[in-house]
């Protein structure tokens, strides 16, 4: 399938929120102006992603989402490659541990807590607290892409 990638527009905001909600990832900081969307030739949105800035100066590859029926077709790879081409390292991300191999293909490496910027240290601490009351099957990883 031929894919096209473009900057999101205001008309994409509801579809982005719906996709993020459907795939169950962090719904905070969904500013459509930072997003890239992947479309089929028909114009249907297949997936999306953004680079999100944080108050500590770090930037996060975030909200990488693909509708389940389009997974395995290169949609996530396309949006990740686009975002990486537009944003210089260092870039950070948080992901489920099962996604580690995907992001390692792009050069991201797992960070120890002591090497994380403040935002990601807070997220890691919060996740660990939540795991005490709501154990889940996967750990949360913080990864970084350097030059």
Q: What is the mean pLDDT of the chain?
A: 94
Say how far apart CA 105 and CA 57 lie, in whole Å: 25
Lowest mean pLDDT among 68-82, 93-107, 119-133: 119-133
Q: How many domains does the chain have?
A: 1
pLDDT at 1: 73
Which pLDDT tens digit goes with each residue over 83-112? 999 999 999 999 999 999 999 999 999 999
The CATH number linked to 22 is 3.40.630.30
Please compute the mean of the pLDDT values over residues 55-70 and round it to a whole number: 96
Say how far apart CA 133 and CA 33 lie, in whole Å: 36
Say how far apart CA 99 and CA 94 lie, in whole Å: 10
Range of the domain at 124: 4-145
φ, ψ of residue 25 in degrees (nearest 5) = -110, 175
Percentages helix, strand, coil for the chain (3-state, rounded to 5) are 40, 25, 35
To the question of pTM greater than 0.85 for the whole model, the response is: yes
């Amino acid at each position: 399938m031929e894919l096209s990638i473009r900057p999101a527009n205001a008309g994409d905001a509801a579809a982005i929120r719906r996709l993020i909600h459907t795939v169950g990832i962090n719904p905070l900081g969904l500013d459509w102006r930072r997003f890239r969307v992947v479309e089929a030739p028909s114009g249907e949105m297949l997936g999306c992603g953004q680079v999100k800035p944080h108050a500590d100066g770090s930037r996060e590859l975030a909200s990488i989402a693909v509708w389940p029926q389009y997974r395995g077709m290169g949609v996530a790879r396309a949006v990740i490659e686009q975002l990486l081409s537009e944003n210089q390292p260092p870039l950070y991300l948080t992901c489920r541990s099962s996604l580690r191999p995907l992001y390692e293909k792009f050069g991201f490496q797992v960070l120890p807590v002591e090497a994380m910027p403040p935002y990601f240290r807070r997220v890691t601490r919060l996740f660990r607290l939540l795991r005490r009351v709501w154990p889940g099957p996967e750990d949360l990883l913080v990864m970084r892409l350097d030059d």
